[in-house]
Amino acid sequence: MNSRAVTYARVSGDDRVKDGRNLSGQLDICREHALKKGYMIVAELSEDDRGASGVSFELPALNQALEMAKNGEFDVLVVREIDRFARSLAKQLIIEQEFRRYGVQIEYVMGEYPDTPEGSLNKNIKAVIAEYERLKINERMIRGRRQKIKAGNVIIHGKPPYGYRLEEIDGKSKLVVNEDEAQIVKMIYHMYVFGEDKKGPMSARVVARRLTQMGVPIPPLSGRSSTKWSRTTVGRIVSSKTYIGVWHYGKNGRANGRHLNNPEEHWLAVEIPAIVDMDLWDAAQERKAVNIASAKKNLKYQYLMNRRLVCGVCGSKVAACGSNDGYKNRLYYRCNVARGYDDYERKCDNARYFKAEDVDFTIWEWIKSFIRNPDAVDAGIAEYHENREREQAPIRERLQVVDDLLSDHRDQLQKLLDLYLDGNFPKELLVERRQRLQDTVDSLATERVNLVSHLESSAYSPEQLQAMKEYTCQIAVGLDEAEEDFDSRKHIVDMLNVYASLVIEDEEKVAYVTCVFKTDPERLLIVSPNIYKKKTPENRR
């Protein structure tokens, strides 16, 4: 029976168009290798590293291959070369060991590494070189970019800020004012600070609505087409120091596949032409502070579940909003996409208004019934542990692989030392091989720290859950008092980490609720407090 093979390809940011190293080229080479060996190809998997990197485990296609291996769906994984599969020695060893546990062999088209001490050594050396090259390339690229910025260049990863265009001037890349867009920027600031037609200052949402009504083209949004301005876009414009003539490089970065906000001391400032003057910009910041304070004040005693709701149809945030029918006391929750306040022109069928009083009342009644039932809390804790164990099982398996590899390589270090002490191993060879093994041990130890940290940070500890359980017993006694105090109810909601999704099912408004003790959503029919109070005690049970 022919062996079953899966081909795997990955591209990095610096080789998408290089011959043989783009996805198509890698898959062609891997396919040719597999067919030459007589393998039956059952899947061809590939991925771009945007959003992840060669040192990240969060690569969907690679994880798919691991899942297929776990299910016994293939026998050989074919990869072009080591730095396509992994550019970290620790990752290479860990992933190879995982595949090996599932009975899958890894073959590199551009290098043969027999399962011998010499083959392993050569492969590890290759992986170390790949990791070193990756770090050096990143270091050189970052250093080169920062040197260009310090020389007065502007480097944009994407599109220039709205109101500007990028031009080459005297051999340098510069931001120059786009006059048409600059007029729109000025108009936005004036609307936000002074308003229009003597109506006073306008909120970012109202400015966005007005721009859309006027038919003003919106800024390009990552290649997506849209016709509507959003309050988020307006808010970014009235907050950006770019428009007073200061453009910053290095505000954001990446580490372990995650976006990070760099500290200000890491930023590099470049002077560019200003579009608005400092007085207008300062006035906009004062207006923003007033709007934020006003919003917090207005919401404080109105919405129990504010910022804790999502749309059950499209997954977007559900926002608190007032009525548009002239009744200021009518408060609602509604999907942001359905309201037209999302950044992109998406559609959502969940356009219904959910009366805030009904949603808050229904969820609060559920919270009371839940925390007054010790058995429900215990069942919730058991459910939480079961779900966390299921989610963390792959990480724990990977941690076990790391521990096994660490034990094996430390044993090799000890054996190497024993050989030297017995006089059977030349000192010059000892130094070289010891350094190779120690580098591997250090890399694996670092990966172990990362995995343990992830496990600890992604779940509540048993001690934390027990403390929360004791807390629920305490607040169960004071629930009647909390009924009369919004801050107390809000504190309980926050402490229990209550979230809900809102949806219409069979023309009924429904909330799916979760909390720290209830990770599987519970379906609640949203009811009005007035209707609820009319029911008899028997019916309420």
Where are the extended beta strands (E) located within 275-314? 309-311
41 vs 134, which has greater pLDDT?
Answer: 41
Query: Domain 164-291 is in which class?
Result: alpha beta
Going from N- to C-terminal start, the domains of the chain cover 4-147, 164-291, 390-459
> Which element (helix H / strand E) includes 424?
none
The pTM of this model reads 0.50
pLDDT of residue 499: 94
pLDDT of residue 16: 44
Question: For residue 414, which of 438, 432, 444 has the smallest C-alpha distance?
Answer: 438
CB 302 within 8 A of CB 356: yes
Per-residue pLDDT tens digits for 178-207: 999 999 999 999 999 988 776 788 888 889
Query: Domain 4-147 is in which class?
Result: alpha beta
Which CB contacts under 8 angstroms, 24+ apart, belong to 502-509? Answer: 502/309, 502/310, 502/311, 502/312, 502/318, 502/333, 502/335, 502/350, 502/354, 502/359, 502/526, 503/311, 503/312, 503/313, 503/350, 504/350, 504/352, 509/352, 509/354, 509/358
CB 354 within 8 A of CB 509: yes
pLDDT of residue 502: 94
pLDDT of residue 113: 57
- Above pLDDT 70, what percent of the chain? 72
Distance CA 306, CA 375 (A): 29
**DSSP class of residue 259?**
E
Per-residue pLDDT tens digits for 229-253: 888 889 999 998 889 988 887 776 5
3-class DSSP state of 246:
strand
pLDDT of residue 19: 45
Distance CA 494, CA 306 (A): 11
Task: Record the tokens describing residue 31, joined without a space.
Answer: 């396919």
